[in-house]
Amino acid sequence: MIRREQPQSSIVDAFVNVSNYRNRTLDAVETAVDWTPIRQNIERLYRRTGPGRPAFPALTLFKALLIQQWHNLSDPGLEEALADRLSFRRFCGLRLEDKVPDHSTVHRFRDRIAPIMKSLLAEINRQLDAQHLILRQGTLIDATLIQAAAHPVSKDEAAPVDPDARWGGKEDHLIYGYKGHIGLDEGSELIRQAKFTPANEHDGGSFEALVSGDEAVVYADKAYASQDRSDWLRDRGIEDGILFKAARGRDLTAIQKLINQELTAIRRNVEHVFGTMKRIYSWRRSRYFNLERNRCSFFVLCSAYNLKRTIKLQAA
């Protein structure tokens, strides 16, 4: 597919470029980072020359995916919103006379960038780090379950249309779906690392992937407690902030309980991020029918969250 350059604004756009048609949040996101490296990383996936109808600019489609996350839009809903909202068109670099990407174009673009979506989040974080927004005081690690888009036949069988999803959670609250894991920067509450797995994967299996390596301490709940992980952190010069877990048949000491209370007061801030994702961005259920597409969507969500969080940090 041929890559198409970002179009220049027309005289018609100039006439409607007034405050009544602007969105201050999107304007702030537009200036929060340099979009050029992001555009260049995506454009490497496209041919620059050759036969075929030119594609929409890569950055237009990527920004459309961000809008989709912020406003909980389906692919058809995103198409309608881009056609209707001037502020959305402006953010995506679409002129008034331009056609908007249809839902199938958005769908194909998401599949195309899925292999590099983790690196795009890393590029956004690199720029936020350059702005001294990442503090490295500590990393808060946790995971949350997300229901699959498909309905399973039974607890013994996977849904035929979504075979990547699995049953996970506690015995009294099992969910058929996936699990999103994040490593959150203490203080800034920016997502530094992320991972997306079937719901049955144990939280501890993603622990090392969520540690950036340059933080002072790592906080996590009892699900991550093990001597091997404590040793792994010590070998890297990182303080162990994992909650104590009582051994079978033994209670925690009074000191261990007190330490757990102090660690929990710090660690629980990661729940605010999952709460934002689920309440504000309506990320309560997966939208797609396989691991790769839902994983891509999760990394777009993490990117969208970080960009919105950046606005507050820059204002402060």
Question: What residues does each domain of the chain span?
Answer: 11-118, 135-288
Residue 13 has pLDDT above 80, yes or no: no
d(CA 278, CA 61): 24
Residue 271: pLDDT above 90? yes
Predicted pLDDT of residue 101: 94
CA distance linking residue 63 with residue 109, whole number of Å? 12
DSSP 195-214: EEEETTS-GGGGTGGG--S-
* pLDDT score for 5: 57
Mean pLDDT of all residues in 39-46? 93
135-288: CATH, from 1.10.10, 3.10.590, 3.40.50, 3.30.420: 3.30.420
Task: Give the per-residue pLDDT at 161.
Answer: 86
Residue with the bigger pLDDT between 7 and 274: it is: 274
Instruction: Say if residue 142 is exposed, middle or buried (CB neighbours under 10 Å; 0-12, 13-18, 19+).
Output: buried
**Per-residue pLDDT at 170:** 81
- Flag whether pLDDT at 128 surpasses 80: yes
Given a cut of 70, whether residue 51 has pLDDT beyond it is: no
CB burial of 63-100 (b: ≥16 within 10 Å; e: otherwise) equals bbbbbbbbeebebeebbebbeebbebbbbbbbeeebeb
Cα 45 to Cα 58: distance, rounded to the nearest angstrom:
10
For 110, residues 6+ apart whose C-beta sits below 8 A from its C-beta are 65, 293, 296, 297, 300
pTM of the model: 0.90
Q: Cβ(270)–Cβ(305) under 8 Å?
A: no
Evaluate if residue 186 carries a pLDDT over 80.
yes
pLDDT at 2 over 90: no
Mode of pairing for the β-strands spanning 173-185 and 191-198: antiparallel
Please state, in angstroms and rounded to a whole number, the distance separating the CA atoms of residues 289 and 132.
38
CA gap 17, 315 in Å, rounded: 24
Does 6 score more than 70 pLDDT?
no
